[in-house]
Structure 1
Amino acid sequence: MYNEGLKSMLQELKSELKDINYSYFDTYNFFSNLIQKPASYGFAEVKLSCCGVVDDIDLKHVCRPISSFCSNRSDHLFWDPYHPSEAAARIVADAVFEGPLQYSFPFNVEQLMAL
């Protein structure tokens, strides 16, 4: 509901301020897609994070200097329980910049910069 409200607010703002341009990125639905179709993006693990992994109780452990790390960081969606891995961050950055309008509204950043 928040995302739909934000999109509506931005559209209203655009009708009031004709010269304003913006790009909204739907992070929630983009990450939902990453989680639902991890292999499409090169991920093998979306439930456990790479840093601070302790069996199946991963979400209770925060990454610390003494934490253990996964052996292949590029196949994990999350670095720790709260942050995407470097591989995921690159995919998100690419999607924000030049990704499909399925997740960016009304433009992606590349299109916005071209205006």
Structure 2
Amino acid sequence: MRIYDLGARRVIVTGTGPIGCVPAELAQRNTNGGCSAELQNAASLFNPQLIQIIQELNNEIGSNVFMGANTRQSALDFVQNPQAYGFVTSQIACCGQGPYNGLGLCTPLSNLCPNRDVYAFWDAFHPTERANRIIVQQILTGTTEYMYPMNLSTALTLDSNNI
């Protein structure tokens, strides 16, 4: 509400991504390349509660000011099927050390992939620029599976009609 009180009329709140599937967790939890069920479960509990809070805030305000981005689902799409999105892997980070390049920070001593555009993750936690573009596309034009209560393009269209 602090942001709304300062004058914001459209706020996108992102949920958590597929935290159990990032290279850091694959390296540290030794899941043989599978996502950490415990962390994935935590993310699956958090995101619906976030949407509930957004719904309550919007009801209180009487307008759809707050929009929720289901970044977990957006990222999970390319994590579960990287080849469909042109990635060679969603398990190994482009830059890092250790198993899955998931240990430590990206430094001059790190392993570095030859082409970051074919990796879903840049480092132990963060998607590559190309992967982030996929997530942003869902924020712009995605269905309610990805955005609640509407995507950004719809919100911008509504706002332009009210000018």
What interval of TM-score do these two structures reach, taking the shorter chain for normalisation? 0.7 to 0.9
Give matches, 1:1-115, under 5 Å.
1-54=45-98, 56-115=99-158
8 A Cα contact 1:78 1:85, kept in partner:
yes
Structure with greater proportional strand content: 2
Identity of paired residues, percent?
Answer: 31
- C-alpha separation in 2, matches of 1:114 and 1:65: 45
Q: How many residues align?
A: 114
Q: Per chain length, whose mean CA-contact separation is higher, i.e. which structure has more relative contact order (CA < 8 Å, sep 6+)?
A: 1
State the SS of the aligned residue for 2:73: helix
Distance 1:50 1:22 in 2: 34
Letter in 2 for 1:12: E
TM-score, normalization by structure 2:
0.63
Moved more, 63-72 or 36-45: 63-72
How high is the TM-score relative to the length of structure 1?
A: 0.87
Supply the distance in 2 between the matched residues of 1:57 and 1:103 (Cα, whole angstroms).
Answer: 28
Residues 65-114 of structure 1, C-alpha deviation per residue, up to 9 Å, x if partnerless?
33231112111000000111111011111111122322111111111112
Counterpart of 1:10, as a letter, is I
Counterpart CA distance in 1 for 2:51 and 2:143 is: 17
Q: What stretches of structure 1 move > 6 A for 4+ residues in a row?
A: none
Cα-Cα RMSD: 1.6
Map of 2:28 onto structure 1? none
Query: Could you report, residue by residue, the CA deviation over 1:13-57 in whole angstroms, capped at 9, with x for unpaired residues?
Result: 222211343321111122122111111111111111001254x35
Unaligned segments of structure 2, at least 5 residues: 1-44, 159-163
Contact 1:23 1:112 in 2 (8 A): no
Gaps of 5+ in 1: none
